[in-house]
Amino acid sequence: MSSPGDAVDSTLKSKRPSDSAFKQQRLPAWQPILTAGTVLPTFFIIGIAFIPVGIGLLYFSDEVKEHVIDYTYCKKDNTEELCADIITKTPNADCYCTINFNLSEDFKGDVYIYYGLSNYYQNHRRYVKSRDDSQLLGQLSLTPSSDCEPFAYDSNNTTSERKPIAPCGAIANSLFSDELEIYSHKLNVNVPLLRTGIAWPSDKHFKFKNPPGNLTEAFKNFSKPTSWKKYIWQLDPDDEENNGFQNEDLIVWMRTAALPTFRKLYRRVNHAASRFAHGLMFGDYSLKVKYSYSVTAFAGTKSMIISTTSLLGGKNPFLGIAYIVVGCICLILGIVLLIIHVKCSKSTTEMINVNPRTPYS
């Protein structure tokens, strides 16, 4: 006669795994056996394949022409005072400086203008988080994301109610603000530069959108970032499609850099202009800078880079060098292991004729 306890025990689920190949670890497996016949060809194949690829990458990288001008410590026009010192004393002051330079060869094809910054850690965790993506999509709210603090509200507002900032956050607040122009002495004209086509299309079409309606009306209840001299609707008032949150200078800056030394695309040379249809000719030029962005406080530097592109993009010798180094290491290892294999390995006959009395060596 069964007891109530037996009934309870029979209803308990067993903890034993089901009798399946997966749960009982009976699935077929494959474990490669590493022998000289499989390892040595792998080393040689990698070495033979990587070295030509690396040489090709270096060739395309060398095809790219670059000219870098560091203007961190440029002097105000017609004076000996550094612009960096002027804006440190008076942050809202305008300082103009000019640097002459020479292109020793033609920059043919598409020419791009970059600005480069060093010792600038855009990859800091709190800095990267300091933005409001809903706001950047045009979904304005009088209560910005808490991630934007302490750049969410205008602390300089004298009214009892502080205005929210648009765009809020540390990234937008630190927007690069220097204005760069290039003057050709050979042609006696400024190089025509395009402000559009510098941002990723995916960013402009999907990550940044303006609120509906007139921009001035849409942002009337919002203040500008603390470090800005213009409001968001004034970034490019001559081009509605490149204004507001869809301003491409802003979009480029909001894509944070992974390393402390980086460059970002600033302008494209307008090759529709007849004098610059084939690029930039060699000769004397001047870089005219409206200097307003301070980097000396954190021992940083600023530079302007003129660059062409190749089939594989911009100048990047590291990738080619890395391929060549890895290929050479694999070839050297393959040769060393091959010599060891030939000198020290046992023959097939010796391997077959092994018995318990065979000495180990």
Dmax over CA atoms of the chain, in Å, equals 112
Sequence spans of domains, the chain? 36-64+313-332, 65-308
What is the spatial distance between Cα 345 and Cα 341, in angstroms, rounded to a whole number? Answer: 5
Residue 69: name the closest of 263, 282, 280 by CA: 263
pLDDT of residue 2: 52
Structure tokens at 259: 């390393």
Residue 194: name the closest of 273, 283, 311 by CA: 273
According to DSSP, the β-strands at 262-269 and 193-194 are antiparallel
What is the spatial distance between Cα 361 and Cα 354, in angstroms, rounded to a whole number? Answer: 12
How many other C-beta atoms are found inside a 10 Å radius of the C-beta of residue 144? 23
pLDDT in tens, the chain (361 residues): 555 555 555 556 677 888 888 888 888 888 888 888 888 999 999 999 999 999 999 999 999 999 999 999 999 999 999 999 999 999 888 899 999 999 999 999 999 999 999 999 999 999 999 999 999 999 999 999 999 999 999 876 554 578 999 999 999 999 999 999 999 999 999 999 999 999 999 999 999 999 998 999 999 999 999 999 999 999 998 888 899 999 999 999 999 999 999 999 999 999 999 999 999 999 999 999 999 999 999 999 999 999 999 888 888 899 999 999 999 999 999 999 999 988 887 665 665 666 677 666 5
What is the spatial distance between Cα 189 and Cα 285, in angstroms, rounded to a whole number? Answer: 10
pLDDT of residue 11: 52
User: SS in 3 state form for the chain?
Assistant: CCCHHHHHHHHCCCCCCCCCCCCCCCCCCCCCCCCHHHHHHHHHHHHHHHHHHHHHHHHHHHHCCEEEEECCCCEECCCCCEHHHHHHHCCCCCEEEEEEEEECCCEECCCEEEEEEECCCCCCHHHHHCCCHHHHCCCCCCCCCHHHCCCCECCCCCCCCCCEECCCCHHHHCCCCCEEEEEECCCCEECCEECCCCCCHHHHHHHCCCCCCCHHHHCCCCECCCCCCCCHHHCCCCCHHHCHHHCHHHHHHHCCCCCCCEEEEEEEECCCCHHHCCEECCEEEEEEEEECCCCHHHCCEEEEEEECCECCECCCHHHHHHHHHHHHHHHHHHHHHHHHHHHHCCCHHHHHCCCCCCCCC
According to DSSP, the β-strands at 262-269 and 112-118 are antiparallel
Residue 206: name the closest of 265, 138, 128, 268 by CA: 138
Residue 241: name the closest of 193, 206, 205 by CA: 205
Structure tokens at 345: 């390995």
**Identity of the residue numbered 274:** S
**Measuring CA to CA, how many Å separate 162 from each of 59, 217, 221, 226?**
57, 18, 10, 13
**Distance between alpha carbon 138 and the CA centroid of its chain, in Å?**
25
Residue 269: φ, ψ to 5°: -70, 135
pTM of the predicted structure, to 2 decimals: 0.81
pLDDT of residue 360: 61
Structure tokens at 33: 């056996």
pLDDT of residue 4: 54
Structure tokens at 348: 């097939």
